[in-house]
Amino acid sequence: MLSEKIAALVQYGMDTGLTPACEKIYTTNLLLDLFHEDDYEEPAKIPSEPLEDILKGLLDEACRRELIPDSIAYRDLFDTRMMNCLLPRPSQVQREFEERYQRSPQEATDYFYRFSQDSDYIRRYRVSKDQKWKTATEYGEIDITINLSKPEKDPKAIAAARNAKTGAYPKCQLCMENEGYAGRIDHPARENHRIIPITIYNSRWGFQYSPYVYYNEHCIVFNGEHTPMKIDRAAFTKLFDFVRQFPHYFLGSNADLPIVGGSILSHDHFQGGNYTFAMAKAPIEQHVTLPGYEDVEAGIVKWPLSVLRIRHKDEKRLIDLATHVLAVWRDYTDEDAFIYAYTDGEPHNTITPIARKTGDSFELDLTLRNNITTEEHPLGVYHPHANLHHIKKENIGLIEVMGLAVLPARLKDEMALLKEYILAGKDPASDETIAKHAAWVSEFLPAYPSITEENIEEILQNEIGKVFVKVLEDAGVYKCTKEGREAFLKFIESL
């Protein structure tokens, strides 16, 4: 059985172009060594199986031989080692990328995206489990996903991590040192990971894809040094340095303050990709003219968050204007609109920027953010409010700002149970797992005179989408009301 599975994996490597045919024997021997196996018999017929099944068979054998405990964390560490046996060295991947880039940036990214999937760094079979749909709203079609591709930690891994010595290498999951790293219980294996070096802001940066690909070609562009995120003139310059090199990709940054920032503020990085979000499609609702920048097209975007869009053929004009907007916003206070730049010396105002190229012009969306908290809203005034936490409690980062809800995996089972209760006419409040959704359900049920097995899925998806719109509206520092627009224009006049 081991010989068959190894042969199938090597054949997969050759079929996908990861492994040259001339390296068949070499790759087979590398895999045999992982299993501490000295013998091998070439099977008469190599079974044709999906990669997930091939790896499962090999992992089951590794557990049977007591090479690893039978736990998803240890299995992930081991299958990454196996996949690395099939792969070219980093320099070979970089050379192939560069050769293709000389022909076309898109050809280069097409190659690298496919490679990152074929190598199982992006686990297609897990990503495909994510539940995804679109919801039509007054702001356009927004994207919803229930994230199921990140494996839940099992009890064995949790116990092992508790007893393991905490490592400080790599410093975080975005460091260059992750390339080829074998991983440990509290840090993912990255032996099958390859990074493309690029030059941004005259310094060394890395280009890779997110292993969880929340949207098409979801890439991460990160500083070669472990240095904190900061939104400033340099950040705007870095965004356009990348967009000039890869004009078919957008690139954006999380904000640089807690609550309104991303999950990793300790390492300077951006996220981008080849996808058009609802925010990018949203029109300018009200054009404005900014003194000294009359040549720059500017306006308030029709979007639940507070977005100033600026557009010009010369990205340097956008960098200059964005720097000015940021400087004014950092110190801007409007008590009537509950905008406070500082409380007790703590800064609250920052920006979530997104850069892209549209036709022959460059475009920059500047999303105004504020992370002030109060007793009523201890997690943030411009953060999902408590009545929405049953669906979304986590920070509203770059991806959500653009119109993609990344919702917790718990919702899959909760929605399945909720369907049963609604169809049976039972009260969700009677079950502790879904009691948190009871008030929400009682609000929307009257709008649907007939709820059946056939339409309940669509109804729940639609209502979750409506909740996410409210989440985004909560995150907007200026609301989409007459008073909100007047307050937004008041800030713009201060520019």
How confident is the chain (495 residues) per 10-residue block, as mean pLDDT? 96 98 98 97 92 98 97 95 98 98 98 98 95 97 91 56 70 96 94 98 97 96 96 98 98 94 87 98 98 98 98 98 98 98 96 97 98 95 96 94 95 96 96 97 95 96 98 97 98 97
Q: Give one word for 220, left, alpha or beta, with left for phi > 0 and alpha for psi -120 to 50.
A: beta
Asked if residues 368 and 478 have their Cβ atoms less than 8 Å apart, the reply is yes
Question: Per the confidence metrics, is the pTM higher than 0.85?
Answer: yes
Rounded Cα–Cα distance for residues 259 and 242 (Å): 26
- Any idea what the Cα angle at residue 94 is, between residues 91 and 100, rounded to 5°? 140
The reported pLDDT for the residue numbered 211 is 95
The reported pLDDT for the residue numbered 154 is 54
Rounded Cα–Cα distance for residues 304 and 476 (Å): 6
Rounded Cα–Cα distance for residues 453 and 22 (Å): 55
Q: Give one word for 292, left, alpha or beta, with left for phi > 0 and alpha for psi -120 to 50.
A: left
The reported pLDDT for the residue numbered 167 is 72
Neighbouring C-beta atoms of residue 72, cutoff 10 Å: 14
Spell out the alpha helix ranges (H) of 119-232: 124-127, 155-163
Asked if residues 243 and 236 have their Cβ atoms less than 8 Å apart, the reply is no
The reported pLDDT for the residue numbered 350 is 97
Neighbouring C-beta atoms of residue 155, cutoff 10 Å: 8
